[in-house]
């Protein structure tokens, strides 16, 4: 997964994996114009590269936003939802994961991250679980073509 290369701590409990170009690519493309997307009712904050992704509508899950690349081949959904059933990362995955054959899976007490590649497309999802009085799940889902050329010259 060469495009997902660093973790950003947007909030203390919500590190988010996002794209980061290497130094040479950064020199060629200039700033990625990082912006912050917030879901205030849940305390969610995520930094995302606005030069790559533009808002296109509401997230399909929870409360949040869906973003797309210019050519529509990459999507990023950032959302939050109440953890009404008190799920842990492991129990949430058991109840909601409908895909088998993951290429990557990491489950801790506070988050899960999963990924797989199918037919040249990479699917990556991460959800962090807060333990505050208002228990929430903070997530992002990222779908993008395996080749950098699939999204123009930014990668």
Q: Report residue 4 as tokens.
A: 């997902």
- Domain locations along the chain: 4-149
Q: What is the pLDDT of residues 110-133, one digit of tens each?
A: 999 999 999 999 999 999 999 775
Q: For the structural domain made of 4-149, what CATH number should be given?
A: 3.40.1000
Q: What is the pLDDT of residues 20-75, one digit of tens each?
A: 334 444 444 458 899 999 999 999 999 999 999 999 999 999 999 999 999 999 99
**At a CB cut-off of 8 Å and minimum separation 6, what does 51 contact?**
29, 30, 31, 32, 33, 154
Whole-number average pLDDT of the chain: 79
User: What is the pTM assigned to this prediction?
Assistant: 0.77
């Amino acid at each position: 997964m060469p495009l997902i290369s660093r973790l950003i701590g947007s909030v203390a409990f919500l590190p988010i994996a996002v794209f980061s170009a290497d130094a040479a690519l950064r020199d060629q493309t200039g700033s990625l114009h990082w912006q912050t997307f917030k879901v205030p009712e849940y305390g969610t904050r995520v930094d995302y590269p606005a030069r790559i992704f533009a808002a296109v509508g509401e997230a399909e899950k929870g409360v949040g936003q869906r973003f797309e690349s210019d050519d529509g081949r990459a999507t990023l959904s950032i959302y939050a939802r109440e953890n009404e059933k008190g799920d842990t990362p492991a129990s949430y995955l058991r109840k909601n994961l409908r895909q088998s054959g993951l290429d990557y899976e990491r489950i801790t007490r506070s988050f899960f991250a999963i990924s797989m590649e199918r037919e040249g497309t990479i699917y990556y999802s991460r959800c962090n679980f807060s333990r505050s009085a208002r228990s929430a799940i903070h997530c992002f889902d990222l779908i993008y073509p395996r080749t950098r050329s699939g999204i123009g010259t930014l990668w």
